[in-house]
Amino acid sequence: MTASALSLPPLPALKIGEYTIPVPIIQGGMGVRVSANRLASAVANEGGVGIIATVALSLASKYYKKGKDYYQANIKALIDELQLSQEASPSGIIGTNCMVAIRDFEAMVRTSVEHGAHMIISGAGLPLRLPEFAASRPSTALVPIVSSLRAARLLAQRWRKLYHRLPDAILFEDPNTAGGHLGIRRNQMFSEEFSSDQVVPQLAEWSRTEYGDEIPIITAGGIWDRRDIDHALSLGAKGVQMASRFLCTYECDADERYKQAFIDAKASDVVIIDSPAGLPGRALNTAFTRTLFQGGRVASKCFATCLEACTCREAKEAFCIAEALHRAQQGDMEHGLIFTGTNGVRHTHMSHVRDIFRELMTGEA
């Protein structure tokens, strides 16, 4: 072990609801099926929180045959993923990421709760009814994703009034660095107003003054190494969410060609697209995005009406995002969409999850 490794103080444990997380790292939910049972259980076994992304899980499952099967197949696929992750990490903390913007949001939350998810992280819209859908298992920690102090305040007040509970934690995603769908409009991007440095201290102060520090603040977006974690904690966060850092791991549930795309990418390959969900999204520049930017034909047939609002379905514009993300996860680099945070292009090789945790905790690569 190096001298620098010896000098690193231990990371503090993170308390969320009834759970004490030994390492204050939550693995970000990455769909479609990029973070499923293998990645989630590997992270949980290292003392973090493993997260299964629930969106469109069925597309690579044995249950999905055609459009009408989609919703029931998602439920069955999620049950399988939870069971497999729990078997692989019987003492670990496993959660799910459930998007408000999907039409089976309620079903994914209820299925998560009924089949033992310890935590539900929810964004892509304010999860105002999340406590209602998760009421059958009060021990499940509920962690909404917000883009501002205003959103956090509104949501906490509503939950307290209607459901007599508060969020077990608040997760802020920095849209200037986070991957996938971003919770602000395109014309708001790259503003310091929405950055972690600005918003996290506001959220931490709000939690302290209004709720006696009962609501821990988690920050996400641009978290890559121990320096980033320490900086986040210095801002008042109690923990971090990391997604892109786990993309090029042997345990990540995506195809090897998907992972190789990150190893081959460079900083200029990170682009912003307009998602049919009505949000900007951060992605890798691939054959798919180049075709998209040039106005060419991409997969545009809506097959499952998976989103609450979708320009592909409603206006026959844009593309089917579930299909594009699924194709990439399966290794189709010609027709697939690859979401990424700004740090995704920093990968140079494959790693094991345990080695990433060792580096983050000790400084020993």
Per-residue pLDDT tens over the stretch 2-23: 434 457 899 999 999 999 999 9
Distance of alpha carbon 34 from the chain centroid: 10
- pLDDT over threshold 70, residue 312: no
Question: What are the DSSP calls for 193-213, one per residue?
Answer: GGSHHHHHHHHHHHHHHHHTT
Q: Is residue 289 within 8 Å of 337, Cβ to Cβ?
A: yes
75: tokens are: 């439920």
Q: In this structure, what DSSP letter does residue 13 have?
A: P
**3-state helix vs strand vs coil in the chain, percent to 5:** 40, 15, 45
Per-residue pLDDT tens over the stretch 161-209: 999 999 999 999 999 999 988 877 777 777 788 899 999 999 999 999 9
**pLDDT for 311:** 62
**pLDDT for 314:** 59
- pLDDT over threshold 70, residue 69: yes
Per-residue pLDDT tens over the stretch 56-65: 999 999 999 8
- % of the chain residues with pLDDT over 90: 78
Per-residue pLDDT tens over the stretch 201-253: 999 999 999 999 999 999 999 999 999 999 999 999 999 999 999 999 999 99
Q: Which residues is 50 bridged to in the sheet?
A: 94
Per-residue pLDDT tens over the stretch 288-306: 999 888 877 776 666 666 7
Tell me if residue 322 falls in helix, strand or coil. helix
Domains of the chain, each with CATH number or no CATH: 3-254+349-362 (3.20.20.70), 256-343 (no CATH)
